[in-house]
Amino acid sequence: MARKFAEDRLVIASHNAGKVREIGALLAPFSVEVISAGQLDIEEPEETETTFTGNAALKAHFSAKASGLPALSDDSGLVVPALNGDPGIYSARWGGPEKDFNLAMRKVEEALQSSGSDDRSAYFICALCLAWPDGHEEIFEGRVDGTLVWPGRGDRGFGYDPIFVPDGFDITFGEMDPDAKHGMSHRADAFNQLVDACF
């Protein structure tokens, strides 16, 4: 049985203003005040784990301990089977120090071309960890499957969205209405599990 979230404040273990806004909107119906780790001057810990769930837990526990409040973090990325799971947990790093996702998408395409494989399947993973200052945690993992296209299409969303066509659709996440994407994305999948279990 998952622990229920009974507090009225929650730290989002992120310095990404867009992610904090998106999570805040998802939690708005539950009258939870969200505050980011950045607003509390909590530094971002180095992501040293080898899985999405490991990195999500590391970040959530770090912010919960530093703030004395429950903390929620997510770790997400693109997994490409033909590239042995890359870019995976290193999805943002493929964009270099500037986190340039145009560069990252080009690198994925070049790696696929070099692989000799015609498998263009891919999936996004989102791992969420809700951690309390006493060390308790609840972890949820969402996934959405699709296919990679080149060149990228659309300027909505962020990250690898312009090259990812989710199964059952003929448009990329980059072309999709944001509300439609939020209704079926990997993050939405993980959030629905979190809300069902803890709210």
Angle at 95 between CA 191 and CA 24, to 5 degrees: 25
Task: For residue 83, give the nearest of 137, 144, 136, 148 by alpha carbon.
Answer: 148
Active-site position among 8, 74, 75, 189: 75
In this structure, the dihedral spanned by the alpha carbons of residues 191, 195, 197 and 199, taken in order and rounded to 10 degrees, is: 150
Reported as type and span, the H/E element at residue 54 is helix 52-67
* DSSP 8-state class, residue 146: E
One-letter amino acid of 44: E
Task: For residue 111, give the nearest of 130, 91, 97, 129 by alpha carbon.
Answer: 91
Active-site annotation holds for 75: yes
Rounded-to-integer distance, Cα 134 and Cα 3, Å: 12
Active site residues: 75
